[in-house]
Amino acid sequence: MNTYNQAELSNLKIADITALYNDFATVTGSNQIKKFSDKTTAIKRTLQIQEIAAPYVDVEPVEEATEAPVEEATEAPVEEATEAPVVKPAKKAKKAKAAEPEGKSITMLINGETLTYNVEETTVTVEKEAKEGTLAASIVQAVKDSIDGSFAEVATNLIASYNRPKSAKTVDQAFAIRKIKKAAQKGFVKLV
């Protein structure tokens, strides 16, 4: 794959520059574009993506890298190259949290104090009644319906008995855990 400097790109038509941009976008995994609004933008963005793609193609950058100040040529690829990998792992970390919300322990802030509870060993007790028809009332009822009051059993009871109003989403374990924690923070139930 050939690389181009600014002078070479300025001799091309916008459609040709767009095609080059899309070739480099394929290498970097960036989104392809249909057209540029003007030639100046087309040249600027093609030079940028070309620098990002340079480490991944079997060519050395052309005179553009030597014409431009050395600091700019080394800074731009480093910033761009480090941004993409940092973003992708962050998204994967969020997916991992969503896939496994029912961890063995939960941490919560109650009265300015951070407390950690083991889900399997924690019991839930009723502290005060909640207004009928509210989620808190459903949680209180789930505690009353449980045999031993274990956190896991209360969560299971809440999943079985509560339907989310105005939502097509189902009640899952992650939702139940979050709401039981919130009810504890508001004082409706107590974790022991």
What confidence tens digit (pLDDT) does each residue in 140-186 have? Answer: 888 888 888 888 888 888 888 888 777 777 788 778 888 888 888 88
In this structure, the answer to whether residues 49 and 72 fall within a common structural domain is: yes
Compute CA 126 distance to the chain's CA centroid, rounded to the nearest angstrom: 35
Residue-range definition of the domain harbouring residue 127: 100-191
Question: Which is higher by pLDDT, 73 or 108?
Answer: 108
In this structure, the answer to whether residues 86 and 151 fall within a common structural domain is: no
Residue 1 lies in a domain: no
Query: How many domains does the chain contain in total?
Result: 2
Q: pLDDT of 67-95, one tens digit each?
A: 444 444 444 444 444 444 444 444 443 33
Of 98, 175, 110, 112, nearest in space to 139 by CA: 175
Question: pLDDT at position 174, please?
Answer: 77
Residue 130 backbone zone (phi > 0: left; psi -120 to 50: alpha; other: beta): beta
Question: pLDDT at position 110, please?
Answer: 65
Of 6, 128, 119, nearest in space to 73 by CA: 6
Of 131, 128, 126, nearest in space to 142 by CA: 126
Pull the structure tokens for residue 96: 């991992």
- Is the pTM higher than 0.75? The answer reads no
